[in-house]
Amino acid sequence: MIVVVYGTTGELIKLISLVKEMPEDQQIRVNTNQQPKQLQQLMDDAGLPAPHFTLTNGRSGKDLEKKSDIVLWGFKLSGQTMKEFRAIKRQLRDAPGKHAVMVHGDTVTTVYGAVLAKFLRLPIVHIEAGMRSHDWRNPFPEEIDRRIVGKLARYHFTPGDTPTGDLKKEGAKGEIIDTLRNTVLDSLRYAQKAPVTSKGFGALDIKKPYVVISIHRNELMSNPKALKELLESIRDHSKKDDLQMVFLDHPITKERITALGYDDILKGSNIIRLPKLSYYRFIQLASKAKYAITDSGGLQEESSFLGIPCLIHRLATERVEGLGKTAELSMYDKKKVEAFMNNPDKYVGHKEGDDIQPTKIILNTLFDAGFLRR
């Protein structure tokens, strides 16, 4: 039996294939619900079953956005865990075979799931393990979260040579299993097959070249100079290159741009601002883009699998996918941003990972270890 713990769309996106392909009667899904609205939309799009335990409702039904939200949510999560702990243990006791707790990535929920596993006295299965930027400040707190779980996990499923090597250098205990690529590759395959529609993309003309911009990280939002320079580059290239710039308004990004007085920068006939899209609709949009600009590690990976040029607007990244091929790390350097936008065709590449199935590698390991029954 596998206890699958998740709480953000970023986690669940990369767990879609695992949840779908594990036997339904051999998994217990625990949702900490950091993003109740987004998670429900994703579950609907992906056709995922409801969680067995939903421990919170975000911030009064809304997604967590501020640090203060996380503190209050943490208190609620602790209290509800105490209430449901016996019920979780009872389900495990009644289930045959060996048990483990599966966590993903680098969020607060990832650390919570690892702690829950320790209280349940179960081994931790860490998906997307070993990823390191080697700078605890960037990304923060994700780098710290990964290191904590890396010390606690029993099974480390690493997406490639670099994270595998980093974990070995750290002397990580337990088994290190290289999945060759991230499970988002399998989730991407599900998303591409889904029956979705292009309706609702605002004034976007799909027949005309367009760029997808998705930024939301705290490091960028708290750097007004870097944010302004990027927005100005987007504005200038929307005119110079006659490209549609599709700017996705993450709630925290939209609020920050307005607070800084930058809304006027994004006014123009070729700049289209859309509300943040659900994952399946986002993939439909991004897969046809000329290039992408993002501070998201997920989109960095997805772009490399799709062969789409991607500017990663961050100081550092813990991911190697696409770097030097389809992707460029800006380090908030305006010259690098301009160089990329002036010649995105330089980064056009072939799709990666067509013959790789990370989910199959993980499930075969769990079956062989006795946590799942064939």
- What pLDDT shows up at residue 355? 85
Closest CA to 220 of 253, 247, 263: 253
Q: What pLDDT sits at residue 196?
A: 65
Residue 311: CB atoms within 10 Å: 27
Phi-psi region for residue 280, left (φ > 0), alpha (ψ -120 to 50) or beta? alpha
- DSSP summary character for residue 104: E
All structural domains of the chain, each given as residue ranges with its CATH number in brackets, are 2-180+356-368 (3.40.50.2000), 210-347 (3.40.50.2000)
Q: Which pLDDT belongs to residue 247?
A: 96
DSSP conformation letters of 20-60 = HHS-GGGEEEEE--SSHHHHHHHHHHHTPPPPSEE---TBT
> What is the number of alpha carbons within 13 Å of residue 278 lying toward its C-beta?
19
Residue 315 contacts residue 220 (beta carbons within 8 Å): no
Kindly list the distances between the CA atom of residue 6 and the CA atoms of 28, 67, 69, 200, in Å, as whole numbers in the listed order.
Answer: 11, 19, 18, 29
Q: Beta-strand (E) ranges in 243-367?
A: 244-249, 271-275, 291-294, 310-312, 327-329
Q: What are phi and psi of 94, to 5 degrees?
A: -85, -10
Whole-Å CA distances, 347 to 294, 328, 340, 344, 350: 15, 8, 8, 6, 10
Tell me the mean pLDDT per 10 residues along the chain, length 374.
Answer: 96 96 96 92 91 91 80 91 95 94 95 96 97 85 93 96 94 95 92 71 81 94 96 94 91 94 94 90 90 92 91 91 91 96 90 86 97 92
Q: State the pLDDT at residue 198.
A: 57
Tokens, residue 194: 């889904």
Please state, in angstroms and rounded to a whole number, the distance separating the CA atoms of residues 35 and 143: 21
Helix (H) or strand (E) holding 126: strand 124-127
pTM, 2 dp: 0.82
Tell which residue, 154, 26, 153, 31, has the closest CA to residue 91.
26
Instruction: Report the Cα 102 to chain-centroid distance in Å.
Output: 16
* Alpha-carbon separation of residue 192 from 280, 282, 291, 338 (angstroms): 8, 10, 18, 31
Sign of CA dihedral 123, 80, 50, 94: positive
Chain length of the chain: 374
